[in-house]
Amino acid sequence: MKRRDVLTAAGALALTGCASEVSECQSSAGGDKQFNWKMVTSWPPNLPGLGTGATKLAENIEAASGGRIRIKVYAAGELVPAFEVFGAVSEGTVEMGHSAAYYWRGKSEATQFFTAIPFGMNVMEMNAWLYYGGGLELYRELYEPFNLMPFPAGNTGIQMGGWFNREINTLADLKGLKMRIPGLGGEVLRRAGGTPVALPGAEIFTALQTGSIDAAEWNGPYNDLTFGLHKAARYYYYPGWHEPGPVLECIINREAWAGLPADLQTIVAIACSALNDQMTAEYAARNALNLRQIKQEGKVEIRPFPDDVLSELHRITGEVYDELAANDQTVAIILESFSTFKETIGEWTAISQQAYLNTRNL
């Protein structure tokens, strides 16, 4: 906090110093106006990957702008709770937020398509849809009535299926399964006979250990080990069918965005895209290291879900989508774009990424 306070104070001085002589001070970079912004996030303080990524985004914007934008980053709860990031930026309490669109399904079920949906697109496919398939336009249109400008800004890559203290050998094993799994994944589990439970990340370990839940998904090896989940479960199932490539978002209040000169807008935009690039790489590298650690400790069995279980979860997912689309025109439009793009790019993925991975170790 201290270093940030110093930075903010210096920023305020620079603003004062320059405002009085703005004509002499005008630089080729579009003016010396000083912006002191706040970024609220949905992440615990310094959470590796998500929290540190948000901080890195702020640092890159500050550095690239030569300090013309200074951004004070707040962990969840420091200024607003984790799930009030959207509202705080929308109302202009703060200029900026770092979070995930699917947390805002209370505002619109359609938000979920911009993070991850069960059996949806993977990281590369999501980015292709967002940047080159019309996804980002739909995302921005959806957020405009909320006075928000969204940018993809990070990705955890596909997650794991979760930590289990009960074996999943057949569909019947899902009946009565009490599992911490939020959102659409939870709804799919419910229809398969399970009981989805809502729990904050920090409470998962105890709930698993005491047996008050049978299973829990959080993220993947990188973030799961932070909570010690590998010490509270017997099985670690894959793949993470419910979140195949979750996109993180940077959201900016539209007035704050419009108030930035063009050069600073470009800096913010490319800094978000750079975080998208870097965070995906970070999760891949760190997930791999932590997976090794789990294997070396040898206390958890790493297992695939049976094919027929995945197949049934997939079938149910289709039902859920159809119902959402039938009840909500916005969902219907976005689902149509998403599904059409997924089908087209899926054919390419099959003969490129997938075919390569399946033959690489022949």
List binders of a copy of itself among 7-66 (CB under 8 A). Answer: 14, 18, 24-25, 27-30, 32, 34, 60, 63-66
User: Residue 60 or 90: which CB sits closer to a copy of itself?
Assistant: 60
Task: Establish if 281 lies at the interface with a copy of itself (CB under 8 A).
Answer: yes
Strand (E) or helix (H) holding 266: helix 262-297
To a copy of itself, the closest distance from the beta carbon of 211 in angstroms equals 26
Amino acid, res. 246: P
User: Residue 83 or 292: which CB sits closer to a copy of itself?
Assistant: 292
To a copy of itself, the closest distance from the beta carbon of 58 in angstroms equals 13
CA distance 240 to 304: 10
To a copy of itself, the closest distance from the beta carbon of 139 in angstroms equals 14
Phi-psi sector, 228: left (phi>0), alpha (psi -120 to 50), beta: left
To a copy of itself, the closest distance from the beta carbon of 120 in angstroms equals 9
DSSP structural state of residue 146? G
Residue from 270, 320, 332, 333 in contact with a copy of itself (CB under 8 A): 270
Using DSSP's 3-state secondary structure scheme, residue 159 falls into coil
The torsion angle over the Cα atoms of residues 165, 169, 171 and 176, rounded to 10 degrees, is -20
Are 177 and 237 a contacting pair, CB within 8 Å? no
To a copy of itself, the closest distance from the beta carbon of 111 in angstroms equals 21
Best CA proximity match to 55, nearest among 64, 45, 65: 45
Best CA proximity match to 349, nearest among 37, 128, 85, 39: 128
Site for a copy of itself in 103-162 (CB under 8 A): 119, 122-125, 127-133, 157-158, 160
Written as six digits, the tokens of 73 are 């980053």
Residue from 40, 282, 324, 335 in contact with a copy of itself (CB under 8 A): 282
Task: Establish if 350 lies at the interface with a copy of itself (CB under 8 A).
Answer: yes
User: Residue 17 or 81: which CB sits closer to a copy of itself?
Assistant: 17
To a copy of itself, the closest distance from the beta carbon of 219 in angstroms equals 12
Using DSSP's 3-state secondary structure scheme, residue 156 falls into coil
Task: Write the CA distances from 312 to 121, 169, 193, 321, 324, integer angstroms.
Answer: 18, 13, 12, 14, 19
To a copy of itself, the closest distance from the beta carbon of 64 in angstroms equals 4
Residue from 82, 192, 207, 310 in contact with a copy of itself (CB under 8 A): 310
What are φ and ψ of residue 73, in 5° steps? Answer: -95, 135
Total site size for a copy of itself, rule CB under 8 A? 90
Stretch that binds a copy of itself, among 176-184, 190-198, 276-284, 320-328 (CB under 8 A): 276-284
Site for a copy of itself in 187-206 (CB under 8 A): none
Are 204 and 216 a contacting pair, CB within 8 Å? yes
Residue from 7, 8, 36, 67 in contact with a copy of itself (CB under 8 A): 67
Site for a copy of itself in 313-342 (CB under 8 A): 314
Are 331 and 109 a contacting pair, CB within 8 Å? yes
